[in-house]
C-alpha cells in the first residue's frame, strides 16, 4: 500500500504574502551593491541589472492579479532593456527618458503599496517590510531624479574638493538622496540651480512626513 504524499504548491496568494519582503530585499541589494559600481562599462551593466531586479520586484509588489502581473512584467522587461542599452551605449537620448520611466514606475509602486499600508486592518511581517520598502523607494526614486537633473544640466550640483570630481555617478546621488531623506544633511554635495534646491527640500519634507504619518498609523493598529 502506497502512501500518497501531497506536494505543496506555491499559489498566487502565497506569493502575494511575501511580495513586499521581496521588494525590500531588491532595494537593499541595489543600495548596497551600487556602492561598488563605478562608471566603467561593466559597472554600468551591473547597475542596469540591479535596476531590472528592482523593476520586477516592484512589479510583483504592485500587481495582485495574474493578468496585471504579466502586463507589468512586460513593461518592466521593456524598461530594463531600454535602460541597460542606454547605459551601455552611454546615449543620454535613450537612458534619460528610460530613467524617467523608471521613476514613474517607482512612483506608481509607492502609490499602490502606500494605499495598502493605509487601508490595512492587520499588521504582519510583510506589511512592515512594505512600510520599510516605501521609505527606500522614496530614496531611490529621488536619487534617479537627481541623476536625471544632473544629466540635463551638469552644473546642477557641486561638491567639496574630495568628492567634486565630475562626473557624478548614481552612487553619489543615492548617497545624497538618502542623506536628504533622513535629514542627515552631510553637506558634501549641494544643489546649485533652483529646481534642484526645491526638489531637495521636498524630499526632506517627504521623509519627515512619512515617518510621522505612516508609522503613527501602523503603531495605532496595535491598540
Q: What is the pLDDT of residues 101-116, one digit of tens each?
A: 889 888 888 888 888 8
Domain definitions of the chain by residue range? 19-220
On whether the CB atoms of residues 139 and 147 are closer than 8 A, the answer is no
Q: What is the pLDDT of residue 5?
A: 35
pTM for the model stands at 0.83
Q: Is the pLDDT of residue 47 over 90?
A: no
Mean pLDDT of 117-123: 80
Q: What is the pLDDT of residue 38?
A: 72
The C-alpha angle with vertex 166 and arms to 206 and 49, in degrees rounded to 5, equals: 65
205 — pLDDT class (breaks 50, 70, 90): very high
**CATH 1.10.287.70 at 19-220, yes or no:** yes
Torsion of CA 119, 223, 122, 141, to 10 degrees: 50
Q: What is the pLDDT of residue 30?
A: 92
User: How far is 175 from 34, CA to CA, in rounded Å?
Assistant: 10
Q: What is the pLDDT of residues 152-174, one digit of tens each?
A: 988 899 887 655 566 788 888 99
Q: Is the pLDDT of residue 59 over 90?
A: no
Q: Is the pLDDT of residue 96 over 90?
A: no
- The answer for 187, left when phi > 0, alpha when psi is -120 to 50, beta otherwise, is left
Amino acid at each position: 500500500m502506497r502512501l500518497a504524499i501531497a506536494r505543496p504548491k506555491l499559489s498566487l496568494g502565497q506569493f502575494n504574502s511575501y511580495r513586499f519582503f521581496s521588494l525590500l530585499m531588491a532595494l537593499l541589494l541595489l543600495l548596497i551593491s551600487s556602492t561598488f559600481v563605478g562608471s566603467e562599462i561593466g559597472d554600468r551593466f551591473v547597475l542596469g541589472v540591479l535596476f531590472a531586479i528592482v523593476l520586477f520586484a516592484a512589479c510583483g509588489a504592485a500587481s495582485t492579479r495574474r493578468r496585471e502581473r504579466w502586463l507589468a512584467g512586460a513593461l518592466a522587461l521593456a524598461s530594463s532593456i531600454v535602460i541597460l542599452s542606454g547605459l551601455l551605449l552611454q546615449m543620454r537620448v535613450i537612458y534619460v527618458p528610460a530613467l524617467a520611466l523608471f521613476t514613474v514606475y517607482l512612483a506608481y509602486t509607492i502609490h499602490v503599496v502606500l494605499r495598502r499600508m493605509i487601508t490595512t486592518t492587520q499588521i504582519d511581517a510583510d506589511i512592515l517590510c512594505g512600510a520599510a520598502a516605501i521609505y527606500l523607494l522614496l530614496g531611490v526614486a529621488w536619487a534617479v531624479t537627481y541623476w536625471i537633473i544632473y544629466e540635463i544640466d551638469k552644473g546642477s550640483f557641486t561638491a567639496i574638493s574630495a568628492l567634486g570630481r565630475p562626473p557624478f555617478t548614481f552612487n553619489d546621488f543615492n548617497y545624497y538622496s538618502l542623506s536628504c531623506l533622513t535629514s542627515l544633511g552631510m553637506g558634501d554635495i549641494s544643489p546649485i540651480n533652483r529646481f534642484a534646491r526645491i526638489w531637495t527640500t521636498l524630499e526632506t519634507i517627504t521623509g519627515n512626513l512619512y515617518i510621522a504619518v505612516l508609522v503613527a498609523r501602523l503603531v495605532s493598529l496595535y491598540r
